[in-house]
Structure 1
């Protein structure tokens, strides 16, 4: 039987972002077979600091040098274009595809998502996915009887495809839920479903497990395995995953690529690459071999270790309240996110906010920052003042609230303008919005200059465009943006996820010094699923249940 031509062929290729920029991945040779009924499907995992760039190369986004060194023989034989046949779903922040809900990419607040895009978000998941299916028929053909028959057949095929994808990705029970209310894990499955509805010959997924709790991680991994496994007598959609260092390589993967410094270090069958890379002193985490050295703060919170359910902190620790919530409730239609929830954050406190995907953590942080429009009507006070004026009390504006709160989060990452420099990213922490000119005093400028110099060796060029930096460097810039101004309250929402280990440890070190943290004056809230991404000093926590406030929240101290 004749072997089909490969799906992707790289032959002694190099790549450039622009015609005049430096060459990347010089002398790269790589072949990805097409998935057919006669050939086994290869399941690739791409590891290493340059994984996102390599995925972009496979997608066809970078310029090949020479031009014919990258080809798509299988697609050419079937008269298909790579742009229409290879789907790249990126969950890394700062990407135009980084979030299900998109971003403004400009001057404004994240709360714009709740207002200016309301019409899009009010779609149900089923409506949103249904609108994502693209017709394969020529829209300019006349409405002949044959044309009408073809349209009817395509409509039936589309319905079957939508039904099958929703079943495969376990989205059926969510079909009537508003897109805006989907949790992190649910939105990832929805994004992948949207890509599969375009009938790709190859699905590339970058950082699929970032921000997922262990249950969500396992579920998504199993789904990706199933999508890439041929059904009886049929073919499958090949999948290539871009993994972070802390992501274990799935057992079901068959081939690996390890890329570093914009070059391929090793590629081939999984066992061979693991052996070769480990001999070079590099660490690869395999599924089932995750670190088990003691319990971290997240595991302790789930295990119920420590003092649970304190009605309030001990009297001797009471300090000025920064944010006060009393008996709040958040619900979208019949979906209750938080119910009868109360929480007070005081100066000097360091909180961990833990819970599974969909439990209400993102909603809760949007209330803390006043990004959520319901902060106007709910019983919430920021710095002892309500958002709207009350008898005997003047209100507090969103500008004042956000000038006193530092934030680093995946959502902010997705919204940050990619054309601004890394330096401007950090400096924007002193401004009202991303694009506003920052107001930095001489003493603040001196402090900021010292901070940038301290991390210079990890960044190289602070004037590099934010969008050209790797994920770890982008996350570092956003961390410093939240930290350098030393606000009254700083929220680190998955802020350390996606950082290289040495970068994360350097950030934690800064928070242990007076340069990075004022113990008596500032308060901290850290949101994470992974203990290694929680800085030292967290001594109290909130653990949300599977259904957020509906099942109640557990408060505790370590």
Structure 2
């Protein structure tokens, strides 16, 4: 069946910076069949964030006026549903979808995908993607770029999607930091329950993480992954008085949050907000020895040498003096992982390390994570809301929501 509309895909890479063309596309300035001279609307996380800010600053509940709720109280899936409904009420000529599935779990992705496929019968779609698997089956053409400018429109069947396979061929540096009295069992949760006011978050959670294990924590949005992480990372008061054991000590038995965090390497996308000043790649990696935001102490010769070895592992030796802030999101994640691993902590927590990066970056980061799992004694806790084909954990702990709180299932 011949599609009613032409639908376009744009790969979201450094070669197609949106700042140069997105506003022109929305104004119909490009000669694309079905879009020339037309008016488009943008569906993206940035637009959603602006509406959330409007609610916070001006009590403008434009997207949720019919349900008497604020956007912040909705799940990611509900927020995006509200945004899509709001945009469609504006009767646009076409819609630009900028990585629409980011932050969504598997069920929400599936529901939104079906809604977008149905929408494609009535409205031309421009789909900006960084995951090749996300491209809608209704897409008819791909837009390519040259020097940030629109280059050509090709039938989607003629567009070659890159297949990425990355290998880091240098061994990760050995540990120069020594940890003592680390038990075989690093984390143990026994019948842990978490409730906030009248809402149950976690129900009878039983989970044990031992030395040199590679775990994948997965669960839909709102299932309690962040709550569970905060119990382990040491900054959730709900853990006190419960059977939560961290590195052999029951939580609340005298150890400080700092004692716990010294034994854990941790990264999350939110960490990028902490690094606003211009630190070099070398300074960022060395700062992992001091758990500091930036480097404010003089490192030892051994620490400098270890950082140099990590930069060689990451193929970033030539970027040693480059500003961290000037690098791509994927390379920034690699550096944050090296920073978290430079002391070879007993436990490494990777909270959504693959979110908002393209397929090339995802392959790079996944290769490094698998390498650390293979070559170090560090246990890894990898967290995601979607399955990741390139990640190869030993075990999976999956949270399943229920009315009485999420229950955990070990695989």
TM-score scaled by length of structure 2 = 0.72
SS where residue 134 of structure 2 aligns? coil
SS where residue 216 of structure 1 aligns? helix
Match status 1:524 vs 2:388: no
Match status 1:554 vs 2:385: no
Matched-pair contact (CA < 8 Å) for 1:341–1:549? no
Residue 450 of structure 1 and its aligned partner are, at CA, apart by 0.7
Task: Decide which of 125, 128, 143 is 1:242's aligned counterpart.
Answer: 128
Match status 1:511 vs 2:347: no
Q: Relative contact order, CA 8 A, sep 6+: which one is greater? A: 2
SS where residue 250 of structure 1 aligns? coil
Match status 1:339 vs 2:303: no
CA distance in 1, matches of 2:299, 2:217: 31
Residue 495 of structure 1 and its aligned partner are, at CA, apart by 2.0
Match status 1:57 vs 2:31: no
The gaps in structure 1 that reach 5 residues or longer are 1-39, 61-69, 76-84, 91-96, 103-119, 134-157, 167-171, 231-235, 285-317
Residue 273 of structure 1 and its aligned partner are, at CA, apart by 4.1
Task: Note the alpha carbon deviations across 1:109-149, whole angstroms, 9 max, x for none.
Answer: xxxxxxxxxxx99x9xxx7699345xxxxxxxxxxxxxxxx
The 3 A distance-change label for structure 1 pair 470 and 190 is farther
The 3 A distance-change label for structure 1 pair 508 and 72 is closer
The aligned runs of 1:132-531 (5 Å cut-off) are 132=60, 162=64, 176=69, 179=72, 182-189=74-81, 204-225=96-117, 230=122, 240-259=126-145, 262=148, 267-268=152-153, 272-275=155-158, 277-278=159-160, 282=162, 319-375=183-239, 379-386=243-250, 388=252, 393-396=253-256, 398-413=257-272, 416-417=275-276, 419-435=278-294, 437=296, 440-456=299-315, 461-497=319-355, 498=357, 500=360, 502-504=363-365, 506-508=367-369, 510-511=371-372, 514=375, 517-518=376-377, 522-528=378-384, 529-531=386-388
Residue 361 of structure 1 and its aligned partner are, at CA, apart by 1.7
Residue 208 of structure 1 and its aligned partner are, at CA, apart by 2.6
Task: Note the alpha carbon deviations across 1:312-339, whole angstroms, 9 max, x for none.
Answer: xxxxxx9533233333222344442212
The gaps in structure 2 that reach 5 residues or longer are 30-39, 165-181
Q: Provide the aligned C-alpha RMSD in A.
A: 4.4
Matched-pair contact (CA < 8 Å) for 2:283–2:294? no
CA distance in 1, matches of 2:298, 2:240: 28
Matched-pair contact (CA < 8 Å) for 1:87–1:200? no
Query: How many residues get paired?
Result: 378
SS where residue 242 of structure 1 aligns? strand
Larger radius of gyration: 1
Bigger mean CA deviation after superposition, 547-556 or 340-349: 547-556
Task: Note the alpha carbon deviations across 1:16-43, whole angstroms, 9 max, x for none.
Answer: xxxxxxxxxxxxxxxxxxxxxxxx8764
SS where residue 332 of structure 2 aligns? helix
Match status 1:47 vs 2:11: yes
Matched-pair contact (CA < 8 Å) for 2:183–2:247? no
CA distance in 1, matches of 2:204, 2:372: 33
Matched-pair contact (CA < 8 Å) for 1:432–1:438? no
SS where residue 550 of structure 1 aligns? coil
Residue 525 of structure 1 and its aligned partner are, at CA, apart by 1.2
